[in-house]
Amino acid sequence: MKNDRINADTVMALKENPFHAISLAARYDDQGFHLNLITRECIEHDDIVSLLSRWRKENEFWFQAIFPVSDAGTKIWLKNKVIEEKDRLLFLVTINNAYIGHVGLWKFDFAESSCEIDNIVRGEHDYPGIMYNSIVVLQDWARTTLAIQDFYLHTLIENHRAVKLYKKLGYETIKTEPLIKTINGDRIEWVPPPADFAGDIERHEMQMRLMNTYRGA
């Protein structure tokens, strides 16, 4: 059911809070951890910007665009594509006073009470499985705070670890699309091929939808 009081302005207002003001409590094994909403003041937190840069670089293989990553560029991205983007929220996964990854929400459609799970990255190698717990908590918060009912996501079929995680969460494939590699200077991007493309298809993107809320081990 649509909630007319929740809209893009709601999303923007959340990001004007002090950092750590919106902190979602979660559990990992016998430890507590939190998802902390990245807010406007984080743009000036050099440690956070540097972490985001490093994680992006280290995990670039599974992104649809690969390009030279710098802290200066990440800072611009954080300001323009996260904080000032009306349909995006990004949370830092925080455990034992350390940031170890991030999870996000994107492409809110409040008329349809839907959004996408986005930017799922475990930047540090510790705490295997913690992203499962993080996504469950994030979805629960989106339901109660933003009245979201339907969740979608995009990932690569070839990213078997991610696909396994999303299926465990209850996501099922609803659409697949071939991708081809394009190179423009120092930027590599994977895009849908033109209708007359006759070359090799190297990657496939899949859209998934949450069909149930299975939370088994």
Q: 29-80 pLDDT, tens per residue?
A: 999 999 999 999 999 999 999 999 999 999 999 999 999 999 999 999 999 9
| pLDDT classification of 215: cutoffs 50, 70, 90 | very low
Q: What are the counts of helices (DSSP H) followed by strands (DSSP E) for the chain?
A: 5, 10
What is the residue range of 126's domain? Answer: 8-210
Is residue 216, in this structure, part of any structural domain at all? no
- What number is the average pLDDT over the span 141-151? 96
Is residue 215, in this structure, part of any structural domain at all? no
Alpha carbon distance 214, 164 (integer Å): 13
Helix 160-169 to helix 130-146 angle (10° resolution) is 50
- What number is the average pLDDT over the span 175-197? 95
Q: Output the domain CATH number for residue 134.
A: 3.40.630.30
| pLDDT classification of 198: cutoffs 50, 70, 90 | confident
Tens of pLDDT, residue by residue over 147-159, are 999 999 999 999 9
DSSP 44: G
pLDDT value at residue 42? 99
Among residues 173, 165, 178, 160, which one has the least CA distance to residue 210?
Answer: 173
Residue 136 is encoded by which pair of tokens?
């469950």
Is residue 18, in this structure, part of any structural domain at all? yes
Among residues 87, 75, 73, which one has the least CA distance to residue 15?
Answer: 87
- What number is the average pLDDT over the span 142-168? 97
Q: How many domains does the chain have?
A: 1
Alpha carbon distance 8, 12 (integer Å): 6
Whether this prediction's pTM lies above 0.75 is answered by yes
Is residue 1, in this structure, part of any structural domain at all? no
- Which is higher by pLDDT, 28 or 214? 28
Strand, coil or helix: what is 165? helix
Q: Does residue 127 carry a pLDDT above 60? A: yes
Average pLDDT over all residues of the chain: 94
